[in-house]
Amino acid sequence: MQASAGPPVASLDDGALVARLRAGDEEAFELVVRTYSGRLLAVTRRILGSDEDARDAVQDAFLSAFRSLERFEGGSLLSTWLHRIAVNAALMKLRTRRRKPEDPIEPLLPVYQENGHHQETFSSWNEPVDVAMSRAENRARVRACIEQLPESYRTILLLRDIEELDTDEAARALGISPNAVKIRLHRARQALRGLLAPHFRSAQP
Amino acid sequence: MTCREFADFMMDYLSGELPEESRAPFERHLSRCANCHEYLAQYKHTIEAGRLAFTNPEEEVPADVPEDLVKAVLAARK
């Protein structure tokens, strides 16, 4: 352990902070863990659902980040780098834990008549989506609806539409075929639409 | 093309992966079926809403630093 000479760690930019971490500065480690544990916990909890697993994944993520400090590239953001490592740690955890039986997604999907027409008549949503989503209450509502999706569908939606992995990356991360990723993503989006619609559509006359 | 087939093709249509031979019937159905027109619009809104739901990461972060987790990480590093 080295004495933390120089300016206080809290005032350092990412490059300088990583330099302190590489030098083994305890104060810098504590600052990084204290600053980022909350938001990394939010990321891993989103993917894993369980609080306990999310905490384990955050711990794994920090340890893995600290082991690979030499791979942090100057010019990138520490927050982005840690975020990516936390997503990977959560996926690793997801692959190794025993899968719990999950609710079927079919009840959340559209229903068709025998002739292949929709059973439901869709009424338009009451305001543009970017306007609706500029309000925190709607962002929280959408996150809560995503949480309601069965796990194997929720994970795909998060990886593809939120974390913006492409189909092949998501397939590799989850150990399933690219085609399975596409099928699940399409179902997950349709199920989410069904969950969001009651909140966003215009009031019926 | 039925509404069910239309729905099956929506994702590939939006990502530009729908083969030519399916695209024309898809677009014909889209121009004639108001209900599927609305369904496709909502499918797109859903993707956008999902993306926008996570644009403010601070909203999901617990107000207090999870002290026990901080301690566990720092201890595990040593």
DSSP string computed for B18-46:
S-HHHHHHHHHHHHH-HHHHHHHHHHHHH
| pLDDT given for residue A102 in this prediction | 87
Q: How far separated are the first and last CA of chain A, in Å rounded?
A: 70
Helices (H), chain A: 14-22, 26-48, 51-67, 78-96, 129-132, 136-147, 151-157, 167-174, 178-200
pLDDT of A106 strictly over 90: yes
Q: What is the mean pLDDT of residues A56-67?
A: 97
In this prediction, residue A4 has a pLDDT band, given cuts at 50, 70 and 90, of very low
Its domain, for residue A124, covers 106-200
Q: What is the ipTM of this complex?
A: 0.92
**Structural domains in chain A (count):** 2
Among the partner residues A63, A142, A197, nearest to B50 by beta-carbon distance: A142
Q: Closest partner residue to B45 among A33, A129, A190, by Cβ?
A: A129
> Is B73 near chain A, with CB under 8 Å?
yes
- In this structure, the answer to whether residues A161 and A188 fall within a common structural domain is yes
Q: What is the mean pLDDT of residues B36-58?
A: 95
The mean of the pLDDT values for chain A is 91
Domain spans in chain B, listed from the N-terminal domain onward:
3-77
Give the model's confidence band at A117: pLDDT under 50 very low, under 70 low, under 90 confident, else very high. very high
Least CB–CB distance from A38: residue in B47, B53, B65? B65
Given pLDDT bands bounded at 50, 70 and 90, which one contains residue A202?
Answer: low
Last residue in a domain, options A73, A96, A119: A96
Q: Tell me the C-alpha distance between A118 and A193, whole Å.
A: 14
- Write down the pLDDT at residue B66: 87
Question: Between the CA of residue A36 and those of A24, A42, A58, A113, B43, what are the distances in Å?
Answer: 18, 10, 10, 50, 34
Tens digits of residue pLDDT in A22-55: 999 999 999 999 999 999 999 999 999 888 999 9
pLDDT tens-digit profile of A165-180? 999 999 998 999 999 9
Give the distance from residue B2's alpha carbon to the nearest chain A alpha carbon, in angstroms: 5
Please indicate, yes or no, if residue A168 is contained in any of the structural domains.
yes
Is residue A9 pLDDT above 80, yes or no? no
> What are residue A118's DSSP bridge partners?
A112
Between A7-16, A64-73, B41-50, the lowest mean confidence (pLDDT) is in: A7-16
Q: Is A128 domain-assigned?
A: yes
Beta bridge partners of A83: none
CA distance B40 to A75: 40
CB burial of residue B9 (10 Å; 0-12, 13-18, 19+): buried
* Three-state secondary structure call for residue A184: helix
A99: phi then psi, degrees, rounded to nearest 5: -75, 130
Mark whether A119 and A90 lie in a shared domain.
no
**pLDDT at residue A2 tops 80:** no
Average pLDDT over chain B, rounded to an integer: 94
| Residue linked to tokens 């039986």 | A101
The answer to whether B77 contacts A66, with C-beta atoms less than 8 Å apart, is yes
The arithmetic mean of pLDDT across residues B45-54, rounded, is: 97
